[in-house]
Chain A
Amino acid sequence: MNIYWLWLAALKGVGPVTLRYLVMRLGSPEAVYTATQAELEGTEGLRRQVVEAILESRSLDQAKRTEELMLRQEIKLLTFVDPLYPTSVNSFANQPAVLYYKGTLRPAQARVGIVGSRRCTTYGKQVAAEAATFLADQGITVVSGLAKGIDSYAHTACLKAGGYTLAFIANGPDICYPAEHRLLMDQIIENGAVLSPYPPGTRPRQEYFPLRNRLLSAWVEQLLVVEAGARSGALITANYALEQHRRVLAVPNSIYSPESYGTNRLLQSGAELYLEPKQLVNKVHELPQQLSRDIGTSELPIQANATRKRTEPEKEISSPQEQAILERLFANNSENPVAIRDFLDLVDGNLKALLTLLCSMELEEKVIISGQTVKYFQK
């Protein structure tokens, strides 16, 4: 029976809306295939071109080839009549009626999308990973697009936390794009699924991505936009999500950061402000009250927070040199690395002693050493 679906999906001139209509009216794709000219012409609301297209291309050759390919590659078919096809997506008639996927689909489960730019910053990586890990722990499906950057981090973090993740791609599910995600894709197939509106063998093309984005946004209940440049694909996804009345959250960042131009704009135009992963569970928008409460006493907690960090008691100081090193790292804004050589004066120029000290400090999770630099260890 698959073969008629494949045939119908590959028909030129029959888009998702027509496809859905045809199957609803005639009962099944097979019925469409075997329908006589009179039957088709008798069907109400069918354009003449569609009838002609069906009548002219009754060959199943291509469908057979696709089916063979799918069998070989273990690609499965998800049609809109399948109970696994979410009703929330089905409510949009223009969503693909047929999907090709590898992996396992689970019945209805909460789904959150995490999208962002390919060229992301460490900040974006951190946010995406934190959110995805949290969602995995909560048993919520993480949905993303298998692209470089934020997408890959969301998938990876979810998998590492033992979660279930879905990837929507803009090429055939037999192709891995980008190539370096080969392993990641295999892992997703094992612990989730890779879905595509495109049949196997389709190479990725720029113009294929918007459809993938629209599908992704329809598939989720909430969409977290981590980082997005001015003309980012993540913004396209976010706009679709808003059109589809999905909850959209955006991560705030510096107004000077080009990677956050899009997300900051989203916030300005009314997207929800994302501050912590917990928000992704609360379906109720209770954030505004929380915020107002915080704003009322904003001065104090932030200050208290900062001072608390400075005298963090959990790190045991074992020597005056260690103390001095940690203090200097603070003074230099704990985010920035400091050259190891800058501490040479603390140990009378004895490089070896300094290396020994720093090494033990690193193992005790007080500092992070990278090449010739040290920085303060932060969770």
Chain B
Amino acid sequence: MATVVNSFALDGVNAYPVIVETVTLHGQPSVNIVGLGDAAVKEAAQRLQAALSCGVFDFPKLKVVINLAPSGMKKSGSHFDLAMAVSLLHEDGQILAIKEDLMGIAFIGELSLNAELRPVRGVLPMAIAARESGLKKLFVPVENYGEANLVKGIEVYAFKTLFEVVDYLRGTLEYQPPVFSQAVRPPSATDGLDFFDVRGQEVLIEYTVVAVAGGHNILMIGPPGCGKSMIAKRIPTIMPVLSEEEALEITRIYSVTGHLRECGYLIQDRPFRTPHHNASTNALVGGGSPVVPGEISLAHNGVLFLDEIAEFNKKALDALRQPMEDKVVTVSRVNSTGTFPANFMLVSAMNPCPCGYYGQARCRCTDYEVLKYRQKISGPILDRIEVHKYVQSVSFLNPSEEDHGPRSADLRERVQKARDIQQLRFAGVPYINSNAQMNEAMIKEFCSLDSDSNRLLSLAFEKFQYSARTYNKFLKIARTFSDLDASEHIRKQDVSGALMARDMDKDRSGMLVV
């Protein structure tokens, strides 16, 4: 009779139960692991032999067959080690007096050659899967304790070594939950950042608030060193505080990618991701085999900051189109398919022209060159970025020493209020929760203009020769402006605010090109 214990395998950001079956047969001594494991799973044979041969246990001198069921699905990772070791020891009769039912326990952990337990990635989704499949107990390496403990409704046991696990199963060890010093909140990227420190950029900050409040994406255009990154980094500080559900979603993704090993706790800050502009398409949207999440999923519920967006590979950028629309991305490969959440705010920055000093006396770029440079970002992507603002360098704005920006906490409050209004407006509409996501019909319903505002808008269209498709963008931004003031209707000042949110379109009319 084979011994059967529970473990889990990862599929995207989800885990599914895997049954580890072990049997010893008469034959030439060997270890065979079947069930479509990758190299890490196959190598477990070596780790098992070493860990079981360190004096306490005996490695059976028989033919050992370990099966990972369901056997038709590809599995990867080193976290099956513990389950294999326990089932082998039980099968070989080395753990006889078992205090409780093995089937009620799930095992996760990698073995070292000295039989210590090592942390693994993806513990959070596995713990969730354990709860869903009705298991009572989950055994994890001690480093993964915090992460597994985030899931309520399941008992998590953390162990340092395989010996402890076996002793506990034999009933010879009194289990002591590990003690952690409190308040080990890992330092986050946004710690100590505040818009208070940004001097002289009031106008830009106002538009940043609008972008965050309405879920609009923003593009900052300015010369090198004018403070674009400084502002981008502070955007997470004014986004609404993470709800527990959102935090869990983020932690789940980070758990799968292995980013959590250092902190091992619930992520409480909105992510801020800044991929370098040589990032590949797969690095951005996710890929590989097995499929792992990319930067846009790591920025889920947070900010994806693309600095020098014009330098990004055009193909990689265009791959963002669909996830920006759907807020999820599905990455398909021959062997596996992964669906990852990707609800991020796109913050991007670029130079206005090849030399970077457009509009200043020192710039000698021709209009044709400027347009060519700007066309590096494809139309569909630009289309999804509602707010385009020029950034002037601080030296030009010349703020005084005691000047300072508004406090992030105050801005966050304004954002939260505007978001609450939107939540109410779109209650009952699935998949839509911000002004930026409104469709044509909703724009018609929620963005009606009075005659005064209408006149203003048509005047601007005439003067700057905007294209028809920008019309809806102005309306959406105007809607957010009025939400920030808790106004029911779009007023004239909201429209004029929106009209100043698209600097690049305005430029276009001033250029002398065919």
- A-B interaction: yes
**A interface list, Cβ under 8 A from B:** 118-121, 125, 129, 148-149, 152-153, 156-157, 159-160, 178, 180-181, 183-184, 187, 339-341, 344, 351-353, 355-356, 358-360, 363, 365, 369-373
Q: Using Cβ atoms and an 8 Å threshold, which residues of chain A touch B396?
A: 339, 373
State A85–B202 Cα separation when bound (angstroms).
Answer: 62
Cross-chain contact A183 with B496 (CB below 8 angstroms): no
Q: Which 6 pairs show the lowest CB-CB distances between chains A and B?
A: A371-B390, A359-B496, A119-B364, A356-B493, A180-B372, A180-B368
Tell me the nearest residue of chain B to A120, going by C-beta: B364
Cross-chain contact A372 with B463 (CB below 8 angstroms): no
State A341–B203 Cα separation when bound (angstroms).
Answer: 7
State A355–B368 Cα separation when bound (angstroms).
Answer: 30
One of B140-148, B329-337, B497-505 contacting the partner: B497-505
Contacts A351-B202, A363-B460 given; indicate if A373 touches B500 (C-beta within 8 A).
Answer: no
Cross-chain contact B512 with A125 (CB below 8 angstroms): yes
Q: Is residue B204 contacting chain A, with contact meaning CB distance below 8 A?
A: yes
Cross-chain contact A373 with B392 (CB below 8 angstroms): yes
Q: Using Cβ atoms and an 8 Å threshold, which residues of chain A touch B389?
A: 371-372
Cross-chain contact B459 with A363 (CB below 8 angstroms): yes
Residues of B450-509 whose CB lies within 8 A of A: 456, 459-460, 463, 485, 492-493, 496-497, 499-500, 503, 506-507
Residues of B393-407 whose CB lies within 8 A of A: 396-399
State A44–B200 Cα separation when bound (angstroms).
Answer: 82
State A213–B372 Cα separation when bound (angstroms).
Answer: 27
Cross-chain contact B497 with A355 (CB below 8 angstroms): yes
Q: Is residue B514 contacting chain A, with contact meaning CB distance below 8 A?
A: yes
A-B contact pairs, 30 of them (CB 8 A): A120-B364, A125-B367, A125-B512, A148-B366, A149-B366, A153-B367, A156-B512, A157-B512, A180-B371, A183-B514, A184-B513, A184-B514, A340-B202, A341-B200, A341-B203, A344-B202, A351-B206, A352-B485, A352-B497, A355-B206, A355-B493, A356-B492, A359-B499, A363-B463, A365-B463, A370-B507, A371-B221, A371-B389, A372-B204, A372-B397
Q: Using Cβ atoms and an 8 Å threshold, which residues of chain A touch B492?
A: 356
Q: Is residue B217 contacting chain A, with contact meaning CB distance below 8 A?
A: no
- Most chain A Cβ neighbours within 10 Å, of B201, B221, B364: B364
Cross-chain contact B366 with A152 (CB below 8 angstroms): yes
State A369–B389 Cα separation when bound (angstroms).
Answer: 11
State A156–B397 Cα separation when bound (angstroms).
Answer: 35
Q: Using Cβ atoms and an 8 Å threshold, which residues of chain B touch A184?
A: 368, 513-514
Cross-chain contact B493 with A352 (CB below 8 angstroms): yes
**B360-374 near A? 1/0 per residue, CB < 8 Å:** 010010111101100
CB B393 to nearest CB in A, in angstroms, measures 10
Tell me the nearest residue of chain B to A344, going by C-beta: B202
State A219–B144 Cα separation when bound (angstroms).
Answer: 82
Q: Is residue B359 contacting chain A, with contact meaning CB distance below 8 A?
A: yes
Q: Using Cβ atoms and an 8 Å threshold, which residues of chain A touch B366?
A: 118, 120, 148-149, 152-153
Cross-chain contact A359 with B497 (CB below 8 angstroms): yes
**B interface list, Cβ under 8 A from A:** 200-204, 206, 221-222, 359, 361, 364, 366-369, 371-372, 389-392, 396-399, 456, 459-460, 463, 485, 492-493, 496-497, 499-500, 503, 506-507, 512-514
State A342–B1 Cα separation when bound (angstroms).
Answer: 84
Q: Using Cβ atoms and an 8 Å threshold, which residues of chain A touch B459?
A: 363
Cross-chain contact B514 with A187 (CB below 8 angstroms): yes
CB B149 to nearest CB in A, in angstroms, measures 46
CB B463 to nearest CB in A, in angstroms, measures 6
Q: Using Cβ atoms and an 8 Å threshold, which residues of chain B touch A360?
A: 456, 496
CB B504 to nearest CB in A, in angstroms, measures 10
Q: Using Cβ atoms and an 8 Å threshold, which residues of chain A touch B203?
A: 340-341, 351, 355, 371-372
State A46–B492 Cα separation when bound (angstroms).
Answer: 82
Taking a contact as CB atoms closer than 8 A, the residue among B200, B206, B499 that contacts A339 in the complex is B200
CB B334 to nearest CB in A, in angstroms, measures 39
CB B371 to nearest CB in A, in angstroms, measures 8
Contacts A180-B369, A184-B368, A339-B396 given; indicate if A355 touches B500 (C-beta within 8 A).
Answer: yes
State A344–B493 Cα separation when bound (angstroms).
Answer: 16
Q: Using Cβ atoms and an 8 Å threshold, which residues of chain B touch A129?
A: 512
Taking a contact as CB atoms closer than 8 A, the residue among B364, B367, B392, B514 that contacts A372 in the complex is B392
CB B289 to nearest CB in A, in angstroms, measures 39
State A35–B446 Cα separation when bound (angstroms).
Answer: 85
State A204–B375 Cα separation when bound (angstroms).
Answer: 25
State A20–B506 Cα separation when bound (angstroms).
Answer: 54
CB B308 to nearest CB in A, in angstroms, measures 18
Tell me the nearest residue of chain B to A150, going by C-beta: B366
Contacts A120-B364, A156-B514 given; indicate if A372 touches B497 (C-beta within 8 A).
Answer: no
Q: Using Cβ atoms and an 8 Å threshold, which residues of chain B touch A157?
A: 512
Q: Using Cβ atoms and an 8 Å threshold, which residues of chain A touch B507?
A: 370
Contacts A180-B369, A181-B368 given; indicate if A339 touches B514 (C-beta within 8 A).
Answer: no
Tell me the nearest residue of chain B to A183, going by C-beta: B514
Cross-chain contact A370 with B359 (CB below 8 angstroms): yes
Q: Using Cβ atoms and an 8 Å threshold, which residues of chain B touch A363?
A: 456, 459-460, 463
State A36–B359 Cα separation when bound (angstroms).
Answer: 66
CB B443 to nearest CB in A, in angstroms, measures 21
Tell me the nearest residue of chain A to B460, going by C-beta: A363
Cross-chain contact B398 with A339 (CB below 8 angstroms): yes
Cross-chain contact B496 with A148 (CB below 8 angstroms): no
Q: Using Cβ atoms and an 8 Å threshold, which residues of chain B touch A178?
A: 368
Taking a contact as CB atoms closer than 8 A, the residue among A119, A156, A159, A372 that contacts B201 in the complex is A372
State A125–B369 Cα separation when bound (angstroms).
Answer: 14
Cross-chain contact A370 with B503 (CB below 8 angstroms): yes
State A181–B371 Cα separation when bound (angstroms).
Answer: 11
Q: Using Cβ atoms and an 8 Å threshold, which residues of chain B touch A365?
A: 463
Q: Using Cβ atoms and an 8 Å threshold, which residues of chain A touch B496?
A: 355-356, 359-360
State A372–B221 Cα separation when bound (angstroms).
Answer: 11
State A370–B503 Cα separation when bound (angstroms).
Answer: 7
Q: Using Cβ atoms and an 8 Å threshold, which residues of chain A touch B506?
A: 369
Q: Using Cβ atoms and an 8 Å threshold, which residues of chain B touch A187?
A: 514
State A125–B510 Cα separation when bound (angstroms).
Answer: 12
Cross-chain contact A156 with B513 (CB below 8 angstroms): yes
CB B440 to nearest CB in A, in angstroms, measures 26
Tell me the nearest residue of chain A to B496, going by C-beta: A359
